[in-house]
Structure formats: C-alpha cells, structure tokens
Copies of this chain bind each other. A is one copy, B any other.
Amino acid sequence: MSDRYQCLFGILDQSALHRADKAQLRDQNLALLLRKIWAGPETTRASLARDTGLSRSSVSSLVDELIDMSLVQERGEGISTGGRKPTLVQFNYQAKYILGLDIGASHIGVLLMDLNGQVIHWKQEDCPVRDQPAQALQKLKDLEQAIYEDSHIDQSQLLGVGVAVPSPISPQNPRYLSPTFMPAWQDIDLIKALDFPQNLTLVIDNDANLGALAEVWWGAGQGCHHLAFIKLGTGIGSGFIIDGKVFRGYGGSAGELGHMVIDPEGAKCVCGLQGCLATFVGSQPILDLAHSFGLNSSDLKELIATLKEGHPKAREVITKTAYKLGLAVASLMNMMNPERVILGGELALAADTLLHPLRECVQSRSLWSSVSNSSILTSTLGEQVIALGAATAVLQKALTQPKSIFMDR
C-alpha cells in the first residue's frame, strides 16, 4: 500500500499538490486578467468582467493592481454603447523587454523582443560554437552590448533571458550540454558562464523545442495544441508542443528525430549509431549527395539557389532527401499524432520542392487517421525562429505566473 504514495493521480501542475490559499486565488485571477488584456486589443473593465465571469468590483481591484505593476495602462475613454463611456485599458507591451539567445552549432544570434512579441533588434554571426565555447560566449556578450547600444534599451529593462542550445537539455539539470554532441562544452556551467544578474528570469532549452514554441505563439502553429517542429539546419532536431507546453521527455531528449535509425546498414553517425536520419538529412550529407550528382555547391544556400534556377539534379537531391525525411516523419505521425508538423531551418527555404515528395512519402507510411487531419507546413518565422522561441519561453512564464516574474526584483 505504501507504493501508492508515488501515484501521480494525473496531476499536471504543482499547484494541485499543495494547499490552495487565498493569495493563490488572487494570483490566478490576476494572471487570468493579465492574459486577457495581453491577448486582446484595447478593452474595458466591464468587458473583462463579462469575459472572465469575475464581478466588476473584482476586476476593478485586480486591474488597479496590474496598473500599479505598470503592466497595464489606461488609454483614455472609449465609445459609449448607450451609457457612460468606458475607460480603455491596454497592455503595456513596452514595460519590459526580453532577450533571446540562439546558440547554434556554428552560429550565434541575439534577439531583443518586447512583450508584444515585436522584434526590436536582431543580430547574428557565424561562429565555431561547438569547438570554441569561450569565443562563442564572448561574441554573445558583444552582440548583446551592440543591441543595447542600437536600441537604447539596457539590461535594467530586461524581464529575462531565454537561451536556445543545440543539444538536449535535461529538465533536472539544465546547466550542462550533452557531452555527446558538444564535447568542448562538457565542463561549462551554462548559467554561470552566461553571467546574467540573479534577478533576471533565465530559461534554457533545446533549440528545436524553442522553435516549436515560437511557431505556436507567432507562426504557423497558432491555435494548435499538438505540434511538432523540425529544424533542418547543420543537423536535424525536432521539438514538440503538447497542450501548449514544451514536451521534453524523461531525460530531456524527446524529439531526437535526427538520430532515428533509417537505414541499419547506413553510414556511421557522430552519435555512435549507424544510418541515423542525420546521416542523410543535414547540410553536409545533402551537399555530399549533391556532389555525387555532379553539383559542387559549397553550402546549402548555393544548392537551393541552383534548385530555384530549375536545375533537375538539384531537384533530385532534394526529392531524395525529402523521401528520407518522410520515413522519420511518418513514424512521428503514427506515434505522436500531432495536429501540425512545421519545417524550419535552412532547408525549409527549399519548401516548394521539398513538401510534395515529403507529404507523399508520409501519406504512404502513416495511418490515414493520423494523417488525414494533420498538415505539414513550413515555418513562417525565418532565421529568427529559435531566438524568438527562447524569448517567448520567458514571456510564457511571465504571463502564466506574473507574480513570480514581475515582483520582488
């Protein structure tokens, strides 16, 4: 019987595991209003009361608190609908800013975002991140400083920092990268190395996971509960959103699509296995394939340019790649049954050519019930998607737990 202490009861969040008190009640309603005001255009206290079911008196008191926190502002009077003119209230999207860091395998990017999801500034640079951690960290700081100067916004106006890394991250210990994929980073405590002030909210997660989050909030995944994002860049990674939340699995390595074995007799992969999807889909293997077809592109962009010129060999390279990718996506569909699959990363620029054979391959290998209501799309957020997702992770936390993020700082 004592085993039962471990039972999870299907409880989703911590709140249900501890007592609920009145302060929590208020926090919940405060957060509810904050989200309504954030999401909507200008609104009024009366309208919020109708929408949420709270009484007008409660709404008044809560909105006053949000105004005191300077998260919400009054914006003059609205139009009467047959009675007294309402006072308009609006979210103060410039109350704070969020920094998103995209640490890739061979590039870095820094993005500054307001609370509206508007990108204020975005800078990126190529950098041998995988092998030169110190250099990468220094360059990140440089880009951050450059953005402060250009935007006239400084660190004191930050709410938090989101960090995307090209490695699985363990939910239990997000300080260290995977030694398999990033050996040079093995002994680096990321939180220490990034060296942000204690009062900033810091979120670290895998790049594909954060890309998925960005798509749900701002891109092709809006309104979607179950979504998979596949990042086709130097390597290949994927991230899942389940019920609006990033799904990480037990050890944080959920979504390692790139190391799904497609061909047991295939080439050796960095991960130690044979015939992983990553040995077929990724910038290097694709360029190798192109080379074997007599195309000598030096990078993926060049190959895609060749493709757009209508070169049939380039088309064949992409088609073959799409087919390999389809094998993995079909398994993903059958297993996870997502509502949408979104392709991002450099290769997504070849979407016109990629999507058709990919969809065909997936359809011939997935259950009709898994595929019929699902769609495969390309990202609409471009190269900022990962950094945007990183910043969004902080925003998500702020809008769901406003008290813990905005107060006591």
A residues with CB within 8 A of B: 1-13, 16-22, 24-25, 28-29, 31-32, 35, 38-41, 52-54, 168, 178, 180, 216-217, 222-223, 225-226, 242-257, 259-261, 264, 271-274, 327-328, 330-332, 334-339, 364-370, 372-374, 396, 399-400
A337 partner, pick from B29, B252, B373, beta carbons under 8 A: B252
Q: Which 9 A-B pairs have the closest CB atoms?
A: A249-B337, A8-B244, A6-B223, A250-B339, A254-B337, A12-B12, A261-B365, A20-B28, A10-B244
**Bound-state Cα–Cα, A157 to B301, Å:** 69
Known contacts A40-B5, A253-B367, A331-B331; A32/B16 CB under 8 A: yes
Nearest CB on B from A201, distance (A): 14
Query: B245 contacts A10, CB within 8 Å?
Result: yes
A365 partner, pick from B38, B223, B264, beta carbons under 8 A: B264
Known contacts A271-B367, A367-B273; A12/B254 CB under 8 A: no
**Bound-state Cα–Cα, A32 to B11, Å:** 11
**Bound-state Cα–Cα, A132 to B373, Å:** 29
Query: B249 contacts A6, CB within 8 Å?
Result: no
Query: B253 contacts A3, CB within 8 Å?
Result: no
Query: B244 contacts A225, CB within 8 Å?
Result: no
**Bound-state Cα–Cα, A366 to B253, Å:** 11
Query: A256 contacts B39, CB within 8 Å?
Result: no
Contact residues in B for A3 (Cβ distance below 8 Å): 222-223
Contact residues in B for A334 (Cβ distance below 8 Å): 253, 256-257, 259-260
Q: Which of A2, A25, A335, A339 has the most CB of B within 10 A?
A: A335
Query: A251 contacts B369, CB within 8 Å?
Result: yes
Known contacts A19-B52, A259-B334, A367-B259; A9/B35 CB under 8 A: yes
Known contacts A225-B8, A337-B256; A53/B18 CB under 8 A: yes
Please list 11 pairs of residues, one from A and one from B, whose beta carbons are closer than 8 Å in the complex, sorted by A's number. Answer: A9-B400, A10-B396, A12-B12, A168-B369, A180-B367, A250-B337, A252-B337, A253-B334, A257-B335, A272-B368, A273-B364
Known contacts A16-B28, A242-B247; A39/B369 CB under 8 A: no
Query: B12 contacts A245, CB within 8 Å?
Result: yes
Contact residues in B for A242 (Cβ distance below 8 Å): 242, 247
**Bound-state Cα–Cα, A126 to B129, Å:** 62
Known contacts A367-B253, A367-B273; A5/B335 CB under 8 A: no
**Bound-state Cα–Cα, A337 to B4, Å:** 24
Contact residues in B for A256 (Cβ distance below 8 Å): 334-335, 337, 367, 369-370
**Bound-state Cα–Cα, A339 to B254, Å:** 11
Contact residues in B for A255 (Cβ distance below 8 Å): 335, 337
Contact residues in B for A259 (Cβ distance below 8 Å): 334, 366-367
Known contacts A256-B367, A261-B365, A338-B249; A216/B8 CB under 8 A: yes
A332 partner, pick from B38, B250, B335, B364, beta carbons under 8 A: B335
Contact residues in B for A246 (Cβ distance below 8 Å): 10
Nearest CB on B from A231, distance (A): 15
**Bound-state Cα–Cα, A405 to B209, Å:** 37
Contact residues in B for A217 (Cβ distance below 8 Å): 7
A368 partner, pick from B180, B366, B400, beta carbons under 8 A: B180
Nearest CB on B from A23, distance (A): 11
Nearest CB on B from A242, distance (A): 7
Known contacts A260-B335, A261-B365, A273-B365; A54/B254 CB under 8 A: no
